[in-house]
Amino acid sequence: LHYILSITHEDYGRATSLSNLTNKWKPAGKWDPPEKPYSKPNYIDEDTRPPPARKANATFVILARNGDLNGIVDSMRQLEDRFNRHYHYPYVFLNEQPFSDEFKKWTSNIASGTVEFGLIPKEDWEQPAHIDENKASLAREQMVKDSVIYGGSVSYRNMCRFNSGLFFKQELLQKYKYYWRVEPGVKYFCNVDEDPFLFMQDNNKVYGFTLSLYEYHKTIPTLWEATKRFIEKNPEYLPKDNAMAFISDDQGRSYNLCHFWSNFEIGDLDFWRSEAYTKFFEHLDQEGGFYYERWGDAPVHSIGVALFAKKEQIHFFKEIGYRHEPFQHCPQGQLHTKGQCWCDETDTFDYIPYSCTYRYDRLF
């Protein structure tokens, strides 16, 4: 029976082999030393650590609709578990329609900080009167034919225009200096033990990102020409040590399409409120490209911060693990260990060919 089982059941044969039995019954003093236990780093115990000694004047900003509730709850739960359950920063929700009682109940229940709900004024959300609707309609039809994502959507364009230059003007945000933009259905992979808002404040940063990539040219064919017209009229707004090299490979003659992916951004609201950026947005708004094309807030924000901020005021939050489908940033090495991250280190967008992060690195 032993012979039959040995040749028909491989696992049985290995288990009852002479070498295996011999290893199990070694004489005294011949035992192999036990493996050393894995040495874990000293993690911060979120349940026992003292409350923060100081906090920044900051908030989370979430543009959402009632139908986004499930995705918002998912994002908030991760954000609270990984960071905010210790810091208790507030949330500001914005919507062009009134939030439902159910939305308010669920989000308020998850948040460890205060929660406020704002209704966006129609003039800040809807297509402005100076836009030629016939021209805009033809542009949308062409984008649909060209299979441009959201090419036929007016509401998407409203959102891009709002995020580009109007979100920071909302009444509920006037009392804050810093914000962290949060989207529904995103993932936060790691513990965030150090307050990124205080980091921004203490190091004079104005913009923080985790992902950067190239824009789809068909959505912004004339954006850079419009930008150059503004620069030519207002050169005084550009500091000499800005990040022009991130967005242009030829000193501003053309746009290389690189942008920070703005679904995650931690920023200084006073930068967007500045004279330089305010006039820049007003110039772009009058150009009409948000509706005649499909200018996104990501390239608009990125061009704005690259032109009007000093390059050292832009920060790559390497320690914040983040995913917005279909891309993710996963911290590497010690940052991954320290943050107790659950993302795969080999699955990170940082330096694949379609990423622009290497261009950011080259600034320094």
Active site residues: 265
Detail the DSSP E strand segments found in the chain.
58-63, 91-95, 115-119, 178-181, 187-188, 207-209, 212-214, 258-260, 266-268, 314-316, 322-324, 327-329
**Contact assessment for residue 331 and residue 319, using Cβ atoms and an 8 Å cutoff:** yes
Say whether 12 sits in a helix, a strand or coil.
Answer: helix
Token representation of residue 339: 């943050």
Peptide bond into 326 cis (omega under 30): yes
Write b or e for each residue in 265-285: b if 16 or more Cβ atoms lie within 10 A of its Cβ, otherwise e. Answer: bbbbbebbebebbeebbeebb
With tokens 């500045």, the residue in question is 274
DSSP of 189-230, one letter per residue? -S---S-HHHHHHHTT--EEES-EEE--GGG-TTHHHHHHHH
Per the rule left: phi > 0, alpha: psi between -120 and 50, beta: everything else, 88 is left
* Residue type at position 91: Y
257 contact partners, CB below 8 Å, separation of at least 6: 214, 215, 217, 220, 299
DSSP code at position 177: S
Say whether 286 sits in a helix, a strand or coil.
Answer: helix
Token representation of residue 331: 């911290």
With tokens 């580009």, the residue in question is 164
**Contact assessment for residue 124 and residue 173, using Cβ atoms and an 8 Å cutoff:** no
Looking only at the bridges linking them, the beta strands covering 266-268 and 178-181 are: antiparallel
Cβ neighbours, 10 Å, residue 122: 8
